[in-house]
Amino acid sequence: MATKDLSQYDIESVPSAENMRFGIVVAEWNFEITSALANGAVNTLKKHGATDENIRVKYVPGTFELPLGAQYFAEMENVDAIILLGCVIQGETRHFDYICDGVTQGTIDLNLKYNKPFIFGVLTTNDEQQAKDRAGGKHGNKGDEAAVTAIKMVHLKQNFSD
């Protein structure tokens, strides 16, 4: 099966993000990758109308810390959605599994605890090349996908009763 291009989407299906506020938490591990994810997310939010003032970016040491960084956003900043960006690359030990399990469950818990969108923009790859391919490479940019998802989820919440 062909891998999806993470930057390909129906532009018409994305609502305006003009009045939406976003927090982005970026892991410093594998920073070449995660900074590319962050650039993709910021550019895509702006492409759909979000303003610089309404996009706040913070950094945490690693992907494992993303849920707590995201929780700080929920508690201390007035944001409509939080995007979590990280990259976990499989190594020789089981650390990969623990980090992936932790950030996945942590993100689910945040969504339900705060009743607002926390978007899972974490690459979990076998090697660095697979990550590069998904951070602005041949399979697009997971940051773009995360940004579009954030906009759509904020719109869904704001218009749920329509």
Give the interface with ligand DLZ as residue ranges (CB under 6 A): 27, 29-30, 61-65, 86-89, 91, 95, 99
Question: CB-wise, 95 or 157, nearer to ligand DLZ?
Answer: 95
Q: Is 145 among the annotated ligand-binding positions? A: no
Question: CB-wise, 12 or 92, nearer to ligand DLZ?
Answer: 92
Shortest distance (Å) from residue 10 CB to ligand DLZ: 31
Q: Is 151 among the annotated ligand-binding positions? A: no
Q: Is 118 among the annotated ligand-binding positions? A: no
Backbone phi, then psi, for 156, in 5-degree steps?
Answer: -60, -45
| Cβ-count burial 81-99 (b if 16+ within 10 Å, e if not) | bbbbbbbbbeeeeeebeeb
Judge contact between 27 and 62, C-beta under 8 A: yes
Q: Is 95 a catalytic residue?
A: yes
How many C-beta atoms lie closer than 10 Å to residue 61's C-beta? 11
Q: Give Cβ neighbours of residue 65 (< 8 Å, ≥ 6 apart).
A: 27
**Catalytic residue from among 48, 95, 139, 155:** 95
Question: CB-wise, 63 or 107, nearer to ligand DLZ?
Answer: 63
CA 5 – CA 138 distance, rounded (Å): 8
Residues identified as active-site: 95
Q: Residues annotated as binding site for 5-amino-6-(D-ribitylamino)uracil? A: 29, 63-65, 87-89, 120
